[in-house]
Amino acid sequence: MPLGANSWGKSRVRVSKVLRGDPTDDILDLNVDIQLTASDVDVAHTEGDNRGVLPTDTMRNTVYALAHSRLGNDLEGFATVLCDHFLEREQITSADVTITANRWDRQSDQGFTGGSSEKRIARVVRGSDDRLSAGIEGLVVLKTGGSAFEGFPRDRYTVLPDADDRILATSVTARWDYSSKPADTTAAWDRVRQTLIDSFFSEWSASVQHQGYLMGEAVLAAVPEVERISFQLPNQHHLPFDVTRFGVEDTGTVFYPVPEPYGDIRLTVER
C-alpha cells in the first residue's frame, strides 16, 4: 500500500545556555523540536531499510554541539542554523525547527525568576491544633553564579565531580507558621517573598541545604511574626552535555536541564 506524507525528528530537546557578560549574564532555556523529510526514507517504512534514517539521537546531539558556537538571543537565527545543517545532507528535502523558550525575568546580574504558576497560600486550622500559616508555591529561581557543591562524601557509586561554581535552580515551596497574626497578612507575605528572592540571589551557598537555611534565617530575621519556616527545594539540575566526544570545543556555557530525577531537599528553620 502507498506510503503518504511522512517525517521524523526529535521533540523536546532541552538545552540551556548562559550568555556570560560582565557583570550581567543572560540565560536561555529552550525546547527544540525538529522534523525532517527526505527523499530516501520510503524504503525505511516499507522495507525496514534504514540507510536514510538519520537517528533522532543524532539530531539531539547536533543541537548541543551547535549550541556552543551558534546559539544566542536570535532564536530564529539558531533555528536557521539547524535547518541549514540538516539540509547539507543531500537527501533531506525539508527541515522544520521550532524553538520554544521559557521566560526568565532578571532579578539581579546573575539572578532570574522563572515563568511559572506562582501561588500564595493561606491556611487556617481551628478547633484542634489551631494553626495560622502561610506559604508560597512555584517561586522558580535560577542563578548562574554564587553556588557550589563540593567536599561531599564518596562511595563506590559516586561519580559526581566537585563543582565550585554552578547553575543553581529550584522551585521554592515554603510554608511558615505565624505565632501571631500580622496586622497586614498581604504585606507580611510580600515581605517573606521578597526576602526569599533577595537571599537566594545575594547569598553564596555551598549546597541547596545551605541556601535553604540562609533563606529561612533571613525570613525569620525580617518578619517577627514568623515562628518557623519549612522548605521543599527540588534541585533542578542543569548538567553539562559532553560534546568533546564530537570534536566540539566545550565552551562551558551549554547545559542540559534535567526534568527528572531531581534532588529533593527539605528543611525547617525555627526561632
Within residues 108-137, the interface with a second copy by CB under 8 A covers 115-129, 132, 134, 137
92 binds a second copy (CB under 8 A): yes
Nearest CB to a second copy, comparing residues 49 and 252: 49
Report in angstroms how near the CB of residue 129 gets to a second copy at its nearest. Answer: 8
Q: Please report, as residue ranges, which positions from 14 to 43 form the binding site for a second copy (by CB under 8 A).
A: 14, 33, 35, 37, 41
Nearest CB to a second copy, comparing residues 22 and 260: 260
Cell matching residue 268: 525547617
Nearest CB to a second copy, comparing residues 71 and 201: 71
Degrees, nearest 5: CA angle 181-182-184? 130
65 binds a second copy (CB under 8 A): yes
Burial of residue 57 (CB within 10 Å: 0-12, 13-18, 19+) is: exposed
CA-to-CA distance for 114 and 41, rounded, in angstroms? 41
10 binds a second copy (CB under 8 A): yes
Applying CB under 8 A, the span of 17-25, 71-79, 165-173, 194-202 interacting with a second copy comes to 71-79
Q: Please report, as residue ranges, which positions from 180 to 239 form the binding site for a second copy (by CB under 8 A).
A: 181, 184-186, 205-207, 209-210, 212-213, 216-217, 220, 228, 230, 234-235
Report in angstroms how near the CB of residue 121 gets to a second copy at its nearest. Answer: 5
What SS3 state is found at 37?
strand
2 binds a second copy (CB under 8 A): yes
Report in angstroms how near the CB of residue 46 gets to a second copy at its nearest. Answer: 6
Residue closest to 236 by CA, chosen among 139, 159, 132, 93: 139
Distance of CA 126 to the CA centre of its chain: 39
Query: 47: Cβ–Cβ under 8 A, 6 or more apart, which residues?
Result: none
Report in angstroms how near the CB of residue 181 gets to a second copy at its nearest. Answer: 7
Cell matching residue 192: 517573606
Q: Please report, as residue ranges, which positions from 157 to 176 form the binding site for a second copy (by CB under 8 A).
A: 157-160
Q: Does residue 17 carry a catalytic annotation?
A: no
Catalytic residue among 10, 85, 143, 238: 10
What SS3 state is found at 174?
strand
Cell matching residue 103: 521566560
- Report DSSP letters for 135-198, one per residue: EEEEEEEEESSSB-B-S----TT--PPPBSS--EEEEEEEEEEESS--SSHHHHHHHHHHHHHH
Nearest CB to a second copy, comparing residues 87 and 252: 87
Burial of residue 196 (CB within 10 Å: 0-12, 13-18, 19+) is: buried
Q: Does residue 56 carry a catalytic annotation?
A: yes
Q: Does residue 181 carry a catalytic annotation?
A: no
Catalytic residue among 56, 80, 185, 268: 56
What SS3 state is found at 48?
coil
Report in angstroms how near the CB of residue 131 gets to a second copy at its nearest. Answer: 8
Residue positions annotated with a catalytic role: 10, 56, 237
